[in-house]
Amino acid sequence: MKTLLLFAPTPNPAPSYFGPSYGVALLGAILKRAGQEVVARDYDRSSIAAMEEDLPKVIAEHQPDLIGISCLSVNRGSSIAAARRIKAVAPNTPIIVGGPFPSLYPEVMFRRAPVDMVCIGDGDETLLEVTLAIANGGDLKDVAGLMIREGDGSLHRTAQRPRFTDMDSLPYPDMTLFDVSGLLASHVLPEVRDGMARLKVGAREPIVTDAMLMVMTSRGCAWSCSFCPLSKWEGKTLFHSPGYVVDMIESYLRDFGHRTFVFGDNTLSYPKKRIIALCDAIIERGLDIEWICMTRADMIDETVLAKMAAAGCKEISYGIESLDASVQKAMGKKLSVHRAPPAFALTHAAGISSCMMMMVGNEGETRETMRTTVGVARDVQPDRVLIWTTKVYPGTRLWDHAVEQGVIPPGYLDDDDSQALDYTGENDAAELRRLERMLQPRTTYVPMPDPAADGGREALEEGVLMGIWRGGAVVLGGAHDPLEREDLPEFIAWSRAHGLRALWLHTDAQQMAQKLMRWRVQEVADLVLAGLIVPLFAPSEREHDRRVGVSGALRGTRKGILAWTRNNKSPVRAWCYLDRDNVGLAAAWVEWLHGHGVREVSFIFGADPAGWHAVPAAELPSVREAGAAVLQAWRAASALDIAVDAVGLPECVLTRGEESLEVHELGRPFDELVSPGGTPEGRSAARRADKTLPPACAGCRVAAGCEGVWTDYLALRGDHELVPIPTEPRRDADPAWQIGTLAR
């Protein structure tokens, strides 16, 4: 008996390689232990076209008696394509499909694909019994846990299979079914690993997740988060014993010589005594491994973390999702939010890096809950941050709610496009985009060293590597213009090769007017250069040039911006610094920027997001005047399709009716500046050290997410210009309120 097992392509596979399909490797091991022949293919990182081209060759070479397809909801379209291709070249070979999606929707699989059987539930025993029935001429109707297509096209469901519980009786997933050594080697990035080895924050070091082998120690989950495919899991969580897990790791070390692992369990440290026993077993065996894992913030303590660190844990990802108690309750996660900040502090103290996983737009999410989340998140500062928009996956409790709310369109499950839908049952698409902007991934600001200084390249590399480890985007700039570096194009290529995905250049753009410079930068920047950030101090040449102290500066900047926007798709973002002299020209500034192809503008009151430049408090306009001017500029920008936000201004002076202009800092709790010594420093903490929430802010409904007003400004002006935004927005606001909650 020979069986071909395959996993079809998934859309947008992760950049990290965590080994072949775990389920396929496990099922293959079960069949091999029974003395059967197994061939396996993992097409996860292939295109559907490449899979369809390869399948006839594999079938012709191996002549399988049965073909099994492992199917998730995200790759159901490619799984269906695989079944169709198989039947086209081997019409008499039976096909069985298993996995979460066909278990939930077997009729859909039969309707959409020419499959012969669907395995419903655990396949550990079912697949083996199917192969024995085929080999021995048995009746498939006697195999529990199946739905079968009869000869007349009707469907027959066999007896329900009892849940499989004897976890340690399973063989280890057979990775030798795949070219694991070759696949791991092809994904390892030696230069990135060598570069990251230079970095450290406290006692924590980054672990490069380019290529790791996955290990699963459990099945199921003790919690029931509504968004998770395990939200309907029934029964107790099942565990492998620590000895089983360590034996499996040891066998992989022996077979493949690869020492970095990822534990795929949702909550590895549950229960705590189990993770302690597992770590003790790793330590006692003397296994020289490094690993990462996921868990909950309420499932660790100092003892657990010390054991994990000693056993080789380098990073823990905490599924936080939201830091608002009402959202935690609504989505069923039920994490006490006060447990989150201490968990990260304890993790860092143990020398383990942290990753905070967040979701935007879950059940119960509003702008108010997002403010609470941002307010708490500002003081956490994890090493890495991953932020997703809440998606609706089939088989979850959230799916049931979304169906009731009309979020799922008719025929969605019959569509070959397997992309999960945003959850818009409580916030429509436009509001969801607004909520997304209220919690942004980290941006890391890296000061450019003096290009003439010794060691400048090394310091620059370490700063960018720190940003790659800790951030989603890097901004190069500060006192020295990145375009001053002769090696900038080569350095951009180096950054891309080391994993940087979004690079911004903070520059006056003057050298972009030179065709050679523009060509050299663009030649290597297409995949990583997000755009330019250009500081501007006035829309008039005389005032701008006076501020920067260089005659003709704005003329040169203007030429550089025009040259860039005419020849490149990546945008220019303007940082416009407000002062007493130019505040009345904010709307005119927008017109000027539009004429130069600029589509993103930040109006800055005081210090910019990186802290690289600040207008002294004595030269600032009043908060009220700045707010009114920026709102007027916002009106002009809206008509010109220019995105505007404000930096350094409180939201109370940026309110227009029921809408408020976005405050840049509100959505940026994780942004960091890499200090000259290479240490990342949180920008939120630095700003708040220079800001104050004055007494006038008492009772303001947005105070939880507001950083306040610059303390130096308040010392000069006081807080009489600030009026708290009431709990219930005024719908009958007078014109003065319409342009900002101004003092009367």
Q: Find the angle CA(734)-CA(736)-CA(740) to the nearest 5 degrees.
A: 115
Q: Which two tokens stand for residue 69?
A: 């397809």
Strands (DSSP E) contained in 256-413 are 260-263, 290-295, 313-321, 353-360, 384-389, 391-392
446's enclosing H/E stretch is strand 443-447
**Integer Cα distance of 488 and 460 in angstroms:** 11
- Digit-coded pLDDT (tens) for 505-545: 999 999 988 887 877 887 777 778 899 999 999 999 999 99
**DSSP code of 439?**
S
Q: Is 718 left (phi over 0), alpha (psi -120 to 50) or beta?
A: left
**Integer Cα distance of 517 and 511 in angstroms:** 7
Omega cis (within 30) before 571:
no
Residue 230: per-residue pLDDT: 87
Residue 737: per-residue pLDDT: 31
Residue 494: per-residue pLDDT: 93
Averaged pLDDT for residues 636-652: 94
Which range among 339-353, 559-573, 680-694 shows the weakest confidence by mean pLDDT?
A: 559-573
- Digit-coded pLDDT (tens) for 455-479: 788 989 999 999 999 988 999 999 9
| Range 717-721 contact pairs with CB under 8 angstroms and sequence separation of 24 or more | 717/622, 717/623, 719/694, 719/695, 720/696, 721/622, 721/623, 721/624, 721/653
At 730, is the pLDDT very low, low, confident or very high (cuts 50, 70, 90)? Answer: very low
Beta carbons of 688 and 358 less than 8 angstroms apart: no
Q: Which two tokens stand for residue 382?
A: 């994890």
How many angstroms separate the Cα of 381 from the Cα of each of 191, 207, 465?
A: 27, 18, 18
Residue 437: per-residue pLDDT: 93
Contacting residues for 47 by C-beta, under 8 A, at least 6 apart: 9
Relative to beta strand 290-295, strand 313-321 is parallel
- Digit-coded pLDDT (tens) for 156-209: 999 999 999 999 999 999 999 999 999 999 999 999 999 999 999 999 999 999
- Digit-coded pLDDT (tens) for 37-56: 999 999 999 999 999 999 99
Phi, psi of 464 (to 5 degrees): -70, -40
**DSSP code of 211?**
B
Residue with more model confidence, 410 or 57: 57
| Range 553-558 contact pairs with CB under 8 angstroms and sequence separation of 24 or more | 553/508, 553/510, 556/508, 556/510, 556/513, 557/508, 557/509, 557/510, 558/596
At 590, is the pLDDT very low, low, confident or very high (cuts 50, 70, 90)? Answer: very high
Relative to beta strand 443-447, strand 146-149 is unpaired
Contacting residues for 738 by C-beta, under 8 A, at least 6 apart: 656, 657
- CA nearest to 380, candidates 670, 599, 589: 670
392 forms bridges with which residues in the sheet? 421
- CA nearest to 496, candidates 521, 533, 519, 459: 521
Number of H helices, E strands in the chain: 26, 30
Averaged pLDDT for residues 71-89: 96
**Integer Cα distance of 32 and 639 in angstroms:** 67
Neighbours of 15 (CB within 10 A): 10
In this predicted structure, the answer to whether residue 740 has a pLDDT above a threshold of 90 is no
State the amino acid at position 41 in one-letter form: R
Give me the chain's average pLDDT, please. Answer: 93
State the amino acid at position 735 in one-letter form: P
Burial class (CB in 10 A: 0-12, 13-18, 19+), 547: buried
Residue 568: per-residue pLDDT: 82
Strands (DSSP E) contained in 268-337 are 290-295, 313-321
At 719, is the pLDDT very low, low, confident or very high (cuts 50, 70, 90)? Answer: confident
Beta carbons of 146 and 157 less than 8 angstroms apart: yes
How many angstroms separate the Cα of 118 from the Cα of each of 24, 148, 159, 310, 416?
A: 15, 7, 13, 44, 18
At 658, is the pLDDT very low, low, confident or very high (cuts 50, 70, 90)? Answer: low
Give the alpha-carbon dihedral of 640, 601, 661, 581, to 10 degrees.
-100
DSSP for 95-134? EEEESHHHHH-HHHHHHHS--SEEE-S--TTHHHHHHHHH
Give the distance, in angstroms, between the CA of residue 86 and the centroid of all CA atoms in the same chain.
35
Residue 711: per-residue pLDDT: 96
Residue that has been written with the tokens 């070390």 in this structure: 253
Residue 528: per-residue pLDDT: 86
**Integer Cα distance of 554 and 545 in angstroms:** 6
70 forms bridges with which residues in the sheet? 7, 98
Sign (positive or negative) of CA dihedral 211, 215, 219, 220: negative
Residue 728: per-residue pLDDT: 58
**Integer Cα distance of 532 and 514 in angstroms:** 15
Averaged pLDDT for residues 684-690: 96
**Integer Cα distance of 175 and 27 in angstroms:** 11
Residue 546: per-residue pLDDT: 93
Averaged pLDDT for residues 124-134: 98
At 107, is the pLDDT very low, low, confident or very high (cuts 50, 70, 90)? Answer: very high
Averaged pLDDT for residues 343-351: 98
Helix axes 302-310, 272-285, angle to 10 degrees: 30
In percent, the amount of the chain with pLDDT more than 90 equals 83
Beta carbons of 438 and 374 less than 8 angstroms apart: yes
| Range 329-332 contact pairs with CB under 8 angstroms and sequence separation of 24 or more | 329/364, 330/226, 330/362, 330/363, 330/364, 331/225, 331/226, 331/227, 331/362, 331/363, 331/364, 331/398, 332/223, 332/224, 332/225, 332/226, 332/231, 332/397
In this predicted structure, the answer to whether residue 736 has a pLDDT above a threshold of 70 is no
In percent, the amount of the chain with pLDDT more than 70 equals 97
Q: Which two tokens stand for residue 458?
A: 């090394």
**Integer Cα distance of 295 and 346 in angstroms:** 14
- CA nearest to 21, candidates 77, 79, 102: 79
At 638, is the pLDDT very low, low, confident or very high (cuts 50, 70, 90)? Answer: very high
Relative to beta strand 659-660, strand 643-647 is unpaired
